[in-house]
Amino acid sequence: MDKENQNHSVQAVRDHGRGRAAAVTITVCISVFLVLLCISIGSVSISLRDMLSILYGVVSGKGVPDSVPVQTVSIFWNIRMPRVLTAFLVGGALSVSGAIMQAVLQNPLASSYTLGVSSGASLGAAIVIAFQLTIPFLGQFTLPAFGFIMGLGTVLIVLALSSAVDRNLHTQTVILIGMVISLFVNAMMTLVSTFAQEHAQQLLIWTMGSFNAKRWYHVKILFSVSAAGLILTMLFTRALDVMSFGDEQAYSIGVNVKRDKKILLVLAALMTGVSVCFTGTIGFIDLVTPHAVRKIFGARHCLVIPMSFVLGGAFMAVCDMVSRTVAAPVEIPVGAVTALIGAPFFVILFLRGRKQG
């Protein structure tokens, strides 16, 4: 009888594993389809056949067939594809950042805003825009570089103050200090905006996010940072699993909570800072996506982290497609679209969770 029960348990685990594998495969396939759909849809529609022909011709070096119009090739390769890939990478990086913060801070509402990363990056960008600053050796990268430095600097200040107040770096301390610093930085942002009325429109676009005019060098930088951040985060999935249950539980099984928290929060800040400095502040995606992933794949971070990247990237690409097509030729800020789609979705998840509870 015991052997029979053991066999049933083993079979149940195998079935569960197959179900997870099927869910991952389906999710990846749907995400790839959505990315291709986003590349296809726009002021000029591009068929799947033309897209594959252009990709094969460019990658293989054999050239694009004459049957594909030159204008279509230019729109696909120089405009549409780098924009959609940038949106995918930013969405993935922000979602992974949100998943890290929710686990480390043991707070389902934690996000880049909690530690002031987005606020710091926005303040840095606002200073560059308002005072027309240009660093000679950075050139056009002055704004993203300044935004990234300010965003990362903000989270380092939060961690330094939290360590000074609480040597064990408890979650409540980090959240409280983060909220205070974030409010202070937002107040500074308001002051800068008040004294730079002539740049109000540019500042508004920045605070709502946009993927307009993104090129391949944006994709290369974002891919490098996102890939490095994702790989490094995967090394800490066990620590993330344990920290989700509380600091005391993590300490009791030998996890160096203080060290791992600092590393993970800096990784989250790095991915958020680089994303925000190129595209502006985009909210909600880092809050909603990890919740959706946990509902589908469970709470183990060996799945939550990579699937947050995949789902978050696909969701951001779709939001960008909506922002540039729904009111064309006017482009809606993508941050507004993520909030309009994400807010009802988050409410549904929250209410469903309460009902199950």
In the chain, domain spans: 81-356
Peptide bond into 329 cis (omega under 30): yes
Residues 317 and 80: beta-carbon distance below 8 Å = no
Find tokens 């690409």 and name the residue: 317
Q: How far is CA 305 from CA 236, 256, 281, 286, in A?
A: 10, 20, 22, 12
Q: How far is CA 334 from CA 29, 90, 150, 223, in A?
A: 24, 12, 22, 20
Q: What is the pLDDT along the chain (357 residues), one digit of tens a residue?
A: 455 555 444 444 454 567 788 889 999 999 999 999 999 998 888 988 899 899 888 888 888 888 888 899 899 999 999 999 999 999 999 999 999 988 888 877 777 777 788 888 888 888 888 888 787 877 777 877 787 788 888 888 988 898 888 877 777 788 888 888 888 988 888 888 888 777 777 777 777 788 988 999 889 989 998 999 999 999 999 989 988 777 777 777 777 888 888 899 888 888 888 888 788 888 888 888 998 899 889 889 999 999 999 999 999 999 999 999 988 788 888 988 888 877 777 677 667 655 555
C-alpha 351/C-alpha 353 separation (Å) is: 5
The SS3 of residue 196 is: coil
Q: Which amino acid is at 138?
A: L
C-alpha 93/C-alpha 275 separation (Å) is: 7
Query: Has domain 81-356 been given CATH number 1.10.3470.10?
Result: yes
C-alpha 168/C-alpha 3 separation (Å) is: 47
Listed residue (284, 342, 281, 286) closest to 99, CA to CA: 286
C-alpha 322/C-alpha 215 separation (Å) is: 20
CA angle 324, 330, 335 (to 5 degrees): 55
